[in-house]
Amino acid sequence: MGTKLWLAIVSLLLVVFTFSLVVQAQQIKSFFYDQQARFYIYEAEEIVTYFGKAAPYEVINERLLLHTRFLGASIIITDLKGKYLYHQPAPGRHKEQINLEQSLLNQVFTGSNTVFSGRVSGVTEDVFLAAVPLKKEGKISGAVIIYSPLSSLKQQINKMSGIAILAGLLGIIMTTFLSMFIFRKFIHPLIEMDKAAKAIAEGDFGKQLAVDSNDEVGRLAHSLNRMSAELKEKIEAIERLDRLRQELLSDVSHELRTPLTVIQGFAEALHDDMVKSREQEKFYLRNIVDESGRLRDLVNDILKLKSMEAGIVDEMEYVVLNKLIHITAERMKQIAVVRDIEIVTSLPAQGITVLGNIDRLKQVLTNLLDNAIKHSNPGGTVTVELGEQAGWALLAVKDTGPGIPPEDLENIWERFYKTDKSRSRHGAGAGLGLAIVKKIVEVHQGRVEVASELGKGAVFTVYLPLNQEVEEE
């Protein structure tokens, strides 16, 4: 495609230059003819001037001889009947008896200067001829004719045409190289962009072009590269979401099936009087209650997440984070003690206040602490820190667990995502805790970040705006 386009451009340029050469050759011919005509007419009028002074025959002949040598042309003076009064041939030529057409002579005798080129009777070759009226005492008495072989004029025209053709050829060569430069500089990148666009249309997302200019073409290439990269990211995100949807269906089915199976199994045992003792009955009932609670918590988490995604925000109030952290940490210490985990808080003396929903913010901290406790090794420590930074309240929860693999850092906020698929159902939740945290923080116009290094635990940091009106999404 690129070669064909370049050849088309070169062919078009050749056609244009060929046409211009033809026009230029015609213009050169017209220019020389006009120049020669004006020159001959001017000299003929000079001859008319001193002829009218009634100079002696010898003087006129001498003057005519000088003119012929100067012009390189023959000069004839005739009367009204066409009879030669004077005839001075050009140097190196013999006297010739030329017979002009009467129509041409009539134009001269009516007072018009006349120019003619071509064949005349009495001369064996084409001539270029100029004739002016011969006037004496204000009356036309004949004609002054200057002529020369047309071949000499054609030689000059051909010489100039040759120069023009040579210049044109040089122009074509230069234009060809220029078109190659233009092709490589401007058209070639457009062709590459066309190829890239077709590749993207065929599913090769993320294709990038080499950009080596900052002009309009370069900016267009940058835009195409950016579009290609963004499209690739969006396609990958869609594929990831599709994969997560499939995992979501599988995880929800598993999370619902297990407690329902347990509840059904123990309930059937009780219904069929398979219980042999009071202790066994309590054991069955306790398992039914526990699994029912797990089922309720799972449904509640899903409903909470849906409400967050729908932008539903409960009533806002000013919340002192110091007090919220202290109360929540004390409540979670009972769970931490069972796992041999210590919870440590680091709170500033001055209260830090944000505008938010106290129940939602308590849930954020509860989920983060629960997550940190579950992922810390026995004997470990979970630290909660509170501070301020450039208009933001910073709430950080650190654990001393194994850390999060780098490939999982971007996915931990997804619903039902678990970094360790091998963990038992009782050792980990449904994978909704962090997704809920992220949504709650977002509706409070904040953000949450995670940093982790394998073997050194993880740090979850929540940023909330200080004392700012929180708009509902």
- Reference 120, options 149, 86, 163; nearest CA is 149
pLDDT for the residue numbered 391: 87
| Complete edge-to-edge strand list for the sheet that includes strand 127-136 | 84-88, 74-79, 139-149, 127-136, 114-118
pLDDT for the residue numbered 147: 86
Residues 6+ apart with CB under 8 A from 411: 240, 417
- Rounded to whole angstroms, the Cα distance separating 159 from 180 reads 32
- Rounded to whole angstroms, the Cα distance separating 31 from 157 reads 9
pLDDT for the residue numbered 470: 40
Both tokens assigned to 8: 């088309």
- Rounded to whole angstroms, the Cα distance separating 355 from 359 reads 12
The residue count of the chain comes to 473
pLDDT for the residue numbered 396: 93
CA distances from 321 to 196, 353, 375, 382, 389 (A): 53, 6, 24, 18, 15
Residue with tokens 């100029």: 130
Q: Kindly provide the b/e burial profile for residues 119-136, where b requires at least 16 CB atoms within 10 angstroms of the residue's own CB.
A: ebeebeeebbbbbbbbbe
What architecture (CATH level 2) is domain 2-156? Answer: 2-Layer Sandwich (3.30)
Both tokens assigned to 449: 């970040």
- Rounded to whole angstroms, the Cα distance separating 193 from 337 reads 63
DSSP string, 400-451: -SS---GGGTTTTTSTT--S-TTS-TTTS--S-HHHHHHHHHHHTT-EEEEE
Let me know: does 373 contact 335? Beta carbons within 8 Å: yes
- The per-residue pLDDT for range 241-293, each reduced to its tens digit, is 677 667 666 666 766 766 777 788 878 878 777 777 888 888 878 878 877 87
**3-state class (DSSP) for residue 315:** coil
pLDDT for the residue numbered 115: 87
In degrees and rounded to multiples of 5, residue 87 shows phi and psi of: -145, 110
pLDDT for the residue numbered 154: 74
Residue with tokens 């933001």: 392
Is the overall model pTM greater than 0.85, yes or no? no
pLDDT for the residue numbered 462: 92
CA distances from 78 to 85, 135, 351, 387, 425 (A): 5, 11, 127, 121, 131
**3-state class (DSSP) for residue 313:** coil
Q: Is 360 exposed, middle or buried (0-12, 13-18, 19+ CB in 10 A)?
A: buried
Strand ranges for 66-191 from DSSP E = 74-79, 84-88, 114-118, 127-136, 139-149
| CATH number for the domain whose boundaries are 313-465 | 3.30.565.10
Q: How do the domains of the chain map onto residue ranges?
A: 2-156, 313-465
Let me know: does 375 contact 405? Beta carbons within 8 Å: no
Low-confidence ranges of the chain (pLDDT < 70): 1-10, 12-14, 16-17, 21, 23, 52-55, 179-180, 182-196, 200-222, 224, 241, 244-245, 247-252, 254-255, 257-258, 294, 297-298, 301-314, 411, 415-431, 467-473
State the virtual CA torsion across 75, 84, 111, 146 in degrees, nearest 10.
-10
Residue 206 region by backbone torsions, left for phi larger than 0, else alpha for psi between -120 and 50, else beta: left
- Rounded to whole angstroms, the Cα distance separating 18 from 24 reads 10
Let me know: does 459 contact 452? Beta carbons within 8 Å: yes
Let me know: does 446 contact 372? Beta carbons within 8 Å: no
Q: Kindly provide the b/e burial profile for residues 374-394, where b requires at least 16 CB atoms within 10 angstroms of the residue's own CB.
A: bbbeeebebbbbbeeeeebbb
